[in-house]
Amino acid sequence: MNKVKINGDITLREKIYFDKDAVEKPQQLQSAFTYQDRDEVFTTLEEDEYQFAVPSGAWKKLEWTGKAVDERIMIQTNEDINFKVY
């Protein structure tokens, strides 16, 4: 799979955000985040007037030329966190 090229920075929050005008091939972006199940079509691509947003785990589908600006909220704890698998 060819990665979607972003000519600029990306911002990491609960999703990955980048400017619309930074996308080299908008059609490739649309097809990379659109899925079809029989007669239904789904997309994980969101957009507003100026930006696109894709799921935070989709970084492996993107290639960007700028920085990855990390704006995720980090919570510090003094407790150990243990996970159990049931």
- pLDDT tens for the chain, residues 1 to 86: 799 999 999 999 999 999 999 999 999 999 999 999 999 999 999 999 999 999 999 999 999 999 999 999 888 878 887 777 87
Q: What are the residue ranges spanned by the domains of the chain? A: 4-70
Please report, for the chain, how many H helices and E strands are present, in that order.
1, 9
Angle at 80 between CA 75 and CA 82, to 5 degrees: 105
